[in-house]
Structure 1
Amino acid sequence: MRPSMLCCRHWLLAVLLVFAGCAHRVPAPVAVAPVSPATWRQVDNQLLDASRSATRQAEVYAQGSMEHWRTRVYQQTDEQFIPWFSGYWTQEWLSLKVGWYSLNNRGDAGQSSWRLAEYLQEQYQERVLAPVALEIDADEIAGEAMEFYVQLLRQQLVQIGNRYQLPAPQLDQHLGQVLAIDLGPAAEQRASLAQLLRVEPIARLPAYGPLLQQLRGAAATERDSPAPGVAQVAQVTSDKLQAQFATRGVAGAVAAAVGRVAGALISVGVAGVRALVQDHDREGLQAQTRRDLGAAFDQAWSRQLHDPEHGVMAGVYYLGRQIESQLQAPGEDAAGVESP
């Protein structure tokens, strides 16, 4: 082999080794400049605006869901509870129960009406609230409103990150310093804003359950009481039935005086007259019951919708307050306006 060819081969081998070394060389990492404090202040203001906007949209969602729930409760009340309650044999059965309650409570009308309310509550739950809950549950609306709020906030965060070209690690660290849920020192009672926006659905967060439990604390106590309007209906019904006892007592005494056969006929006759009277008064009883239930239910519905501590929007308001208190700059009010 000629020396010139050997020299060329050596030169080519040297070039290939240089390229191979370059291919295996790891490029030096490029340092990412930290985000300036001024930019973070702008980001925080954008997050506050996003939170307020998401809260308003969640309110619209919750209102619509509660309107649907109320409509279904009204329909079920008209179709199932009121016809059952105003029926002749139901009223007869209720009168027996009120009489029994009065005997056991030694004539205490207050205790009689309360025990009747408990019974009517069971019937209202079975005939109205439970069937409606299979379609839409007021208790679940609170969780759905929170999920909707977080989804909207998550969408806005993507836009904010792109707008300011925020490095993902720095943004995650910044959001990790904001406590979105702070119920106690334990880890399962806390969640950062970064965790809240990262976990889908938010029900997977360990702190989600304790938050719902706290928000529903007072509502759970109220559920042990008669449903809205049931106690009022029970009071009116108890008073009316107890007022009828005197008339029934006279009919019973007359029947006992004339003997067993004649007494049975008189009792049947009295029952027939009462059935006609009850049928004649049924429309009025239904209208009164509908008014009593409707007025009380509307008040309870409004409280459940607007109560900032335990209503269906309580979870959204809690998250909004948490974010507001930590991202809002000193000297600004809740609307983001500098105080004088």
Structure 2
Amino acid sequence: MMKCLLLVVWMVVLAGCAARPPPVTVAPGTWRQIDRDILAASQNATEQAEQFARDAMQEWRTLVYQRTETDFIPWFFSYRTHQWLSVKLSWYRLSAGDENDEVVDRLALYLQQQYRKRVLVPVARETDPVRIRERTVRFYVWLMAELLARIPPRYGVPADQFERWLEGIPAIALAPPPNRNASLQQLIGNERLDRLPAYRALTAHIHKAPAEVALWSEDGGISSVATQASRQLTNELTAGGITGVVSAMIGPAGALLSFGMMGVTALMREHQRPEQEALLRKSMSAAFDTEWREWLRSRDRGVMAGVHYLDDTLERQLTSRLEAPERPALRAP
């Protein structure tokens, strides 16, 4: 009886083996077409990521304009502010002696801190270019996963073979060390990008990359031109107690907002204040818009820097593969 039972089991196993479909062999030409589709998917995702970044940056610009209008401009034109600047200047001069440059630097730092405190920091609690840059990369990766998922059914390629193919495509290549590298499969298959060492390395790589201009919203911005502005303000405050409207850098290095020289009396005349506020608003907007465009344009540190790195890496890898001789067919293990 036991022998009969074993015989039946053995026959069932053999029947199951016979029914198992043979491994799928994907032709080399199919894989080359898949590479073209992956390249097209990356280009598509990059274009949509760019629009995503532009919309997010428009939101940031609107918030900065609103905060500048409701907080910084009223603060800057208030009588109390100009009185306080005069007091600070006097204090700086007492502690600095004849060192005029030290006075200029200290006043410039104060003005920078006020703009950050009243505009940039509050807005950054909601959004800022650095955060937008990270969100744009995540959007690109998410969209790539969606687009790549459509490719295997198109050619009848088994999912496991397609994943193995993606494992062979570098997406992040910052070696050495090895944990600074990641394949395309690792990138799209990771639900938490911040837990992927190669992604963290990419973020650090972008942050440290040299930029063509100083991006003032990041740490270390608003320095050289603000110093020039402070020197102008210091001279005005020193010349017979006259207070001037500060020139400040809120754009690329070298962008100087010159708001003219106005005494305290003129500033306090209400009929002149709207005109001076309009001049300030126009000058700040022009410099800010220049910087805003640079955040969108810069491939090294702008909001699209991470996406451009991934797209360029994939394009370089896939173009090289497509130009190489055809590989033998990839068989299932």
Tell me which interval the TM-score lies in, with the shorter structure as reference length.
Answer: 0.7 to 0.9
1:327 aligns with 2:318: yes
1:262-294 C-alpha deviation (Å, 9 max, x unpaired)? xxxxxxxxxxxx865431154344333323322
CA distance 1:190–1:199, shift in 2 (3 Å): same
Is 1:27 paired with 2:9?
Answer: no
Displacement of 1:161 in angstroms is: 1.0
- Give 1:18 deviation, angstroms: 5.3
The separation in 2 between residues aligned to 1:231 and 1:62, in whole angstroms, is 32
1:241 to 229, 237, 241: 237
Letter in 2 for 1:295: A
TM-score (norm 2): 0.78
User: Aligned-pair distance for 1:184?
Assistant: 1.5
Question: Which of 180-189 and 109-118 deviates more?
Answer: 109-118
- Structure 1 contact 308–317 (Cα < 8 Å) conserved: yes
1:179 aligns with 170
1:76 aligned residue = 67
SS of residue paired to 1:200: coil
Partner of 1:37: 28
- Residue 225 of structure 1 is matched in structure 2 by 221
Whole-Å separation in 1 of the counterparts to 2:187 and 2:132: 19
Equivalent residue for 1:209? 200
Residue aligning to 2:256? none
User: Which letter maps to 2:141?
Assistant: V
Q: How far does residue 69 in structure 1 lie from its aligned partner after superposition?
A: 0.1
Displacement of 1:96 in angstroms is 2.6
User: Is the CA contact 1:230–1:293 (under 8 Å) kept in the aligned structure 2?
Assistant: no
Q: 2:77 — aligned with what?
A: 86
- Matched AA of 2:29: A
Q: Structure 1 pair 17/32, CA: closer, same or farther in 2 (3 Å)?
A: closer
Q: Tell me if structure 2 keeps the 8 A contact 1:202–1:208.
A: yes
The equivalences for 1:139-178 within 5 A come to: 139-178=130-169
Aligned to 2:249: none
Say if 2:108 and 2:227, in contact at 8 Å, map to a contact too. Answer: yes
Could you say what the CA RMSD is over the residues aligned between the two structures, in angstroms? Answer: 3.1
Distance (Å, rounded) in 1 between the aligned partners of 2:288 and 2:227 = 11
Is the 1:59–1:313 Cα contact (8 Å) retained in structure 2? yes
CA distances 1:88-112 after superposition (whole Å, capped 9, x unpaired): 1111111232344455555565554
When residues 277 and 177 of structure 1 are mapped into structure 2, their CA distance, relative to the original with a 3 A threshold, is: same
Structure with greater proportional helix content: 1
What is the CA-CA distance between 1:189 and the residue it aligns to? Answer: 0.7
**Unaligned ranges ≥5, structure 1:** 1-9, 248-273, 333-340
Label 1:34 to 1:21 Cα distance change in 2 as closer, same or farther (>3 A). Answer: closer
Q: How does 1:254-333 map to 2 (within 5 A)?
A: 277-280=266-269, 281-329=272-320
Q: Which runs of 5+ in 2 are unaligned?
A: 244-262, 324-333
Q: Which moved more, 1:19-28 or 1:149-158?
A: 19-28
Q: 1:194 aligned to 2:190? A: no
| Residues 287 and 300 of structure 1: CA distance in aligned 2, closer, same or farther (over 3 Å) | same
Q: CA deviation at 1:80?
A: 0.6
**Do the aligned residues in 1 keep the contact of 2:35 with 2:322 (CA within 8 Å)?**
no
Rounded to whole Å, the distance in 2 between the matches of 1:49 and 1:307 is 23
**C-alpha spacing 1:21/1:33, structure 2 compared with 1 (3 Å):** closer
Q: Relative to 1, partners in 2 of residues 1:202 and 1:112: Cα closer, same or farther, differing over 3 Å?
A: same
Contact 2:93 2:103 in 1 (8 A): yes
Asked if the contact 1:228–1:300 (Cα under 8 Å) also holds between the matched residues in 2, the reply is no
Q: What's the counterpart of residue 125 of structure 1? A: 116
CA 188–331 in structure 1, closer or farther in 2 if over 3 Å, else same: closer
- 1:299 is displaced (CA, Å) by 1.5
Deviations 1:289-311 (A, max 9, x none): 32332222221111111101110
**Identical-pair percentage:** 38
Work out whether residues 65 and 141 of structure 1, in 8 Å CA contact, stay in contact via their aligned partners in 2: yes
When structure 1 is superposed on structure 2, of 304-313 and 288-297 the one drifting more is 288-297
Q: Which moved more, 1:297-306 or 1:38-47?
A: 297-306
Secondary structure at the aligned position of 2:80 is classed as helix
Deviations 1:61-85 (A, max 9, x none): 0001001101100100110111111
